[in-house]
Amino acid sequence: MQLEWQYSQKDIVWEELSELYKVAPLGNKSPADLEKAFSNSMYKCFVFESGNLVGVGRALADGIDCSYICDVAVLPRCQDSGIGKSIVFRLVELSKGHKKIILYSVPGKESFYKKHGFKRMSTAMAIFENQEQAIEWGLLNET
């Protein structure tokens, strides 16, 4: 598998990225919302195979204190090929120098990130736009 890596959003087809998130599955994210989110992210990785987008990830970072890795997604046919691992590795490398690198995982995928040096936080808290749905998906505890 010959992969091409891109670290800017130049020439990204946002509709293709939106479709990747749907099938990965990481939910429905509109092309316009994705363009805005990636534009506001310090680090981004786009992975292509034969010109087709097969993997992606980004990190919100302030350059000093905190880098937050998020939205890592790989096409189902390419999952378990090492692409996700490589995306996380590259985003961690790009984030070096920050005092902390954080992320939150889709429930059930925590072991993937543990293998890459991430540890469970005991004090993380969140407010979601749809709290009930976040509880239902296992992202939040009711207590």
- pLDDT tens per residue across span 48-59: 999 999 999 999
Q: How many Cβ atoms from other residues are within 10 Å of residue 24's Cβ?
A: 20
More confident residue, 45 or 120: 45
CATH fold of 3-103 reads: Aminopeptidase (3.40.630)
Average pLDDT of the chain to the nearest whole number: 93
The structure's pTM equals 0.89
Ranges of H-type helices in 9-82: 14-23, 31-39
- Phi and psi at residue 35, in whole multiples of 5°? -60, -40
pLDDT tens figures, 71-116: 999 999 999 899 999 999 999 999 999 999 999 887 888 888 888 8
Q: What angle do CA 48, 10, 26 make, to 5 degrees?
A: 55
Among 75, 71, 47, smallest CA distance to 59 is for 71
For residues 135 and 142, is the Cβ–Cβ distance under 8 A? Answer: yes
Predicted confidence band of residue 69 (pLDDT cuts 50, 70, 90): very high
Q: What are the sequence ranges of the domains in the chain?
A: 3-103
Average pLDDT over residues 33-55: 97
Tell me how far apart the alpha carbons of residues 24 and 72 are, in angstroms, rounded to a whole number.
9
